[in-house]
Amino acid sequence: MMDSPDPGPHIAPMDSTGKTALVTGGNKGIGFAVVRQLAAHGYTTWLGSRDEARGRAAVAALEEAGAGDVRFIALDVTDEASGAAAAARIASLTPSLDVLINNAGIYVKEGDGAPSTVRLDAMRATYDVNVFGPLRVTAAFLPLLRAARGAHVVMVGAGLGSLTLQLDPSQGLSRWPAFAYSSSKTALNALTVGFANELREEGIVVTVVNPGFVATDLNGHAGTLTTDEGAERVLRAVQLPLSATGSFVTDHGTCPW
């Protein structure tokens, strides 16, 4: 995928002194790399995971590697009660949340496809995680985000979410038969803009990031980038100023909508 030549907004140095972060779907893939990098920058980082055993194992591995202050939090993004419980738990231990990374996402291989063949159950399952999940989690953590100074909400999107790129016959994305997944990422872009407009006056920066074609379980590890490279793109969004809120960003600037 080709990025826009737009150099993007100025990125300020990362200041993580005493700050806290939450990453959904943090037990593997890009989310795990984001947790590790945030902790290395000094953030107290909550690793959200639907599967408690996998989540705690991921935290244990990071602790063994000396990654920093990483803590497990049970969080199923498809369950509103789970989000509320996670928010209450974190609120009992810290007065604010500086960074929320909505990373959890799925691709339903069996059932996704072209619009004429995609199964509705695959659409529903995909949207429940990829769109309604970030909506639920962001809403649940708004009180903590509002209590922070200049909080950042980062949605982990995809190049497939760009309608402009999908309409370009020269782009491979135009020939990718995954309507449930791609349209969910387009909807995530819209959700990003909606939250950005709602929260701008409160100083909360909301962006969506295209991490690139990263090798993860989601694509059968066919990606050309490592999870660390994808995570680095996500972390750049944590440093963006308020003027960038509502942006669709990637490695070298912004992506077209």
Phi-psi map region of 150: left, alpha, beta (phi>0 left; psi -120 to 50 alpha): left
| DSSP-derived pairing of the beta strands 253-254 and 70-74 | unpaired
Q: Please state, in angstroms and rounded to a whole number, the distance separating the CA atoms of residues 133 and 139.
A: 10
Residues 6+ apart with CB under 8 A from 162: 173, 186, 189, 210, 248, 255, 256, 257
- Whether 181 is a known active-site residue: answer yes
Token match 């990125």: residue? Answer: 11
Q: Is 58 exposed, middle or buried (0-12, 13-18, 19+ CB in 10 A)?
A: buried
Active site residue 185: yes
44 burial via Cβ count (<10 Å: 0-12, 13-18, 19+): buried
The catalytic residue among 19, 43, 107, 185 is: 185
What is the C-alpha separation between 26 and 33, in angstroms, rounded?
Answer: 8
- Which amino acids are annotated catalytic? 181, 185
